Amino acid sequence: MIGLIGAVLVSVALSRLQNIITQPLKSLTETMSKVSQTGTFSAQAIVSGQRGDISARGIASGQDEIGELARVFNHMAGELSQRDDSLQQELKERRRIEAKLSQIAHFDTITNLPNRHSFNSQIDRALINYKYDLEKFALLYIDLDNFKYVNDTFGHHVGDLLLASIGERMVKTLRKEDFVARLGGDEFVIIISAFADTSQISAVAEKILAALQTPFFLEGHEAFVGASIGIAICPQNGKDSETLQRQADSAMYRAKNLGKNNFQFYKDELSRTQKNRISIEAQLHRALERDEIVVYYQPIVEITGKNIIGFEALVRWIKKDGTVIRPDEFITLAEEIGLIVDIGRYVLNTAATQTATWADRFDHIFTAVNFSSRQFKHNDLASDIFNALKNARLQPGNFEMEITESVLMDNSIDSKNFLDMLIKQGIGISIDDFGTGYSSLSYITSFPITKIKIDFSFVAKLPHDKNALAVVTAIIGLAKSLNLKVVSEGIETIEQLECLAKLDCQYGQGYLFSKPVPAVEATKLLEIFNTQSMLSNRAS
């Protein structure tokens, strides 16, 4: 009996002992398999005396090897859990950066519209749709009018806000399935698919123009912009991306030339004027090689008529048969075909060399050279100017740049810094045809300039036209208060001259003094007039 009781007790004790030993092991095994199956490293094994206390009374009191094993395991799991957390964090950050990069790669940061990259993909998709389903589409190239003016007057920040608002208005105007992107600068593009006929496209272009008509209010400034839109249609105008873009771009330029703020479809057939243009274009290409491009000089004089202070270089195209073509008839064409850069460089070098010979003999003689918008956009303009001066050994003080206000508005390089740099070198900057362009006060004060030339359309109406008189008086006053020199262009009569003298205009230029003449004659004029009064000489 005793033996039996003893055996039962021993067996109870043994089973209890086994429990005490195996329980923590079982718990540890369970935790381990949970960790390995679920990857939850935060799960912890129970160590007696610390959590749950399953063996407080047993042999495996947490001080034994199993307890030690559990502790080491917990430590390891804890470490892994921390590493897992930071890995998750890193992954989250990486995903965020990836999303941001993809946003930057496909969207424009200013307007949040798709960018040029997305546009290229979109037009490729549209071309594939055309190839398989014959689904035609239209490409609308949009270039803003006067954006540069807003940017320069109110600053880049307001310019950016304007672009963003324009983007919003465009999106609102279009259907969901239409695609609009910003290509950069003030250029936008729209792709319209699934349309019945071109009148639908005209309607969209009209809606875009109307949407931009309402002024924009941006941080207290009121801004007005228009747009010139060029339209090309696939398949009529092209079946590949490059052709379509080129045709839309050329239609857009036609819209600009037709007075801006309108839209034009690409036209394939050449009109008679275009054919004529092509023939002039071919001749103009050869004109430079054949020495048919000649520089004339028109004196700029003190209004008192005493001295010639300098000349304006005016280009002429003199054909071999003797016909003289005035710049108004070929400068625009030369600009369009890019030839203006070569012609301009030729005028620049010729004028610099000529002026150096005058500067050797006469004090403070300068020559003003006209620069057009296209030349201003040309990257090498600064080096062209400095090379011309260096080669001619002409001081920058004997050289002036003549530009119109629109040249400053239109161009994409930072005109302000560019002009600042020229002025610092001692080159004069003259604003041509003043009064016919924007003539905004804030504009004229924000650009570094040294001289204003009053447009001859005002001078021609002096002294009787009250409005012209008021404008000329105001411009002279403005120039004085801004410490700028002022020249009146196109003085033809003594009355005009007297009126300008009374208004205290400093300098003048016009047929009354001399027409633009070849260099040899200009030298003669200097020899005669810079020793005697020009007017008294003329009177005699």
Nearer to ligand C2E, 32 or 280 (CB): 280
| Binding partner of residue 371 among ligand C2E, Mg ion, none, CB cut-off 5 to 8 Å per kind | ligand C2E
- Which pairs from 309-312 meet CB under 8 Å and 24+ separation? 309/364, 309/365, 309/366, 309/507, 310/364, 310/365, 310/366, 310/367, 310/368, 310/400, 311/355, 311/365, 311/366, 311/367, 311/368, 311/522, 312/367, 312/368, 312/370, 312/402, 312/509, 312/516
Opening angle at CA 331, ends 343 and 289, nearest 5: 35
User: Cβ 145 to ligand C2E, closest distance in Å?
Assistant: 21
Q: Does residue 315 touch ligand C2E according to CB under 6 A?
A: yes
Residue ranges in 348-377 that form contacts with Mg ion under rule CB under 5 A: 370
CA distances from 234 to 122, 204, 238, 355 (A): 14, 17, 5, 54
Q: Does residue 341 touch ligand C2E according to CB under 6 A?
A: no
Question: For ligand C2E, which stretch binds (CB under 6 A), given 149-157, 181-189, 272-280, 485-493?
Answer: 485-493
Q: Does residue 400 touch Mg ion according to CB under 5 A?
A: no
Question: For ligand C2E, which stretch binds (CB under 6 A), given 27-35, 176-184, 507-515, 522-530?
Answer: 507-515
Q: Does residue 496 touch ligand C2E according to CB under 6 A?
A: no
Q: How far apart are CA 13 and CA 19, in angstroms?
A: 10
Residue ranges in 118-137 that form contacts with ligand C2E under rule CB under 6 A: none
Contacts of 309 by beta carbon, 8 Å cutoff, 6+ apart: 300, 301, 302, 364, 365, 366, 507
Q: Which of 432, 439, 479, 529 binds Mg ion (CB under 5 A)?
A: 432
Q: Which of 16, 94, 239, 326 binds ligand C2E (CB under 6 A)?
A: 326
CA end-to-end distance (rounded Å), the chain: 162
Nearer to ligand C2E, 135 or 492 (CB): 492
Q: Does residue 299 touch ligand C2E according to CB under 6 A?
A: no
User: Cβ 522 to ligand C2E, closest distance in Å?
Assistant: 13
Nearer to ligand C2E, 141 or 456 (CB): 456
Q: Does residue 511 touch ligand C2E according to CB under 6 A?
A: yes
Q: Which of 205, 384, 433, 434 binds Mg ion (CB under 5 A)?
A: 433
Q: Are strands 366-370 and 324-325 parallel, antiparallel or unpaired?
A: unpaired
Q: How far apart are CA 540 and CA 538, in angstroms?
A: 5
CA distances from 400 to 213, 361, 371, 428, 452 (A): 39, 19, 10, 4, 12
Site residues (CB under 5 A) for Mg ion?
Answer: 370, 402, 432-433, 489
Site residues (CB under 6 A) for ligand C2E?
Answer: 298, 314-315, 326-328, 331, 344, 347, 370-372, 402, 432-433, 456, 489-492, 509-511, 516
